[in-house]
Structure 1
Amino acid sequence: MSRATYSPFLLAGLMAGAGVLHFTVPKAFDGTVPRVLPGAPRAWTYASGVAECALAAGLAHPRTRRTAARATACFFVGVFPANVQMAIDWRRRPALPRAAAFGRLPLQIPLVLWARKVARAEGASRT
Structure 2
Amino acid sequence: MPFRWSARATQTVSAAAMSALLMTSAMKHFREPRFFEQVVPDYLCREIPGALGASPRGSEAPAPDGGKRPLAVMSREEWIAVSGLLEAGAAVGLLIPVTRQAAATAVTAMFAVFLAGHVDALRRAYGPAGSPAQRNVHTVRLPLQVPLILWAWSLRKPGRRR
Q: TM-score, normalised by structure 2?
A: 0.69
Match of residue 13, structure 1, among 20, 36, 39? 20
Q: Which moved more, 1:69-78 or 1:25-34?
A: 25-34
Q: Alignment RMSD, CA only?
A: 1.9
- 1:93 is matched with 131
The amino acid of 1:102's aligned partner reads: T
* Aligned residue in 2 for 1:118: 155
Residue of structure 2 in register with 1:105 after alignment: 142
Q: Helix, strand or coil: the match of 1:77?
A: helix
| Unaligned 5+ runs, structure 1 | none
Further displaced range: 99-108 or 37-46: 99-108
Post-superposition Cα deviations, 1:5-61, rounded to whole Å, max 9, x if no partner, equal: 311011111111111111111122123211111131001000000000000000111
For 2:79 and 2:38, the matched residues in 1 are separated by: 11
Deviation (angstroms), 1:90: 2.2
| Counterpart-to-counterpart distance in 1, 2:156 and 2:17 | 14
Partner of 2:111: 76
- Asked whether the equivalents of residues 31 and 41 of structure 1 are also in contact (C-alpha less than 8 Å), the reply is no
Match of 1:32 among 35, 39, 42: 39
Deviations 1:63-121 (A, max 9, x none): 11111011100000011111112212222322x5422211222221111111111111x
Deviates more, 1:63-72 or 1:102-111: 102-111
TM-score (norm 1): 0.87
| Matched AA of 1:59 | L
Q: What amino acid is the match of 1:23? A: F
SS of aligned partner of 2:131: coil
Alignment check: 8 A CA contact 1:76 1:111 kept: yes
Q: Contact 1:55–1:71 at 8 Å: present in 2 too?
A: yes
Give the Cα separation in 1 of the matches to 2:112 and 2:42: 18
Match of 2:79 in 1: 44
How many correspondences in the alignment? 123
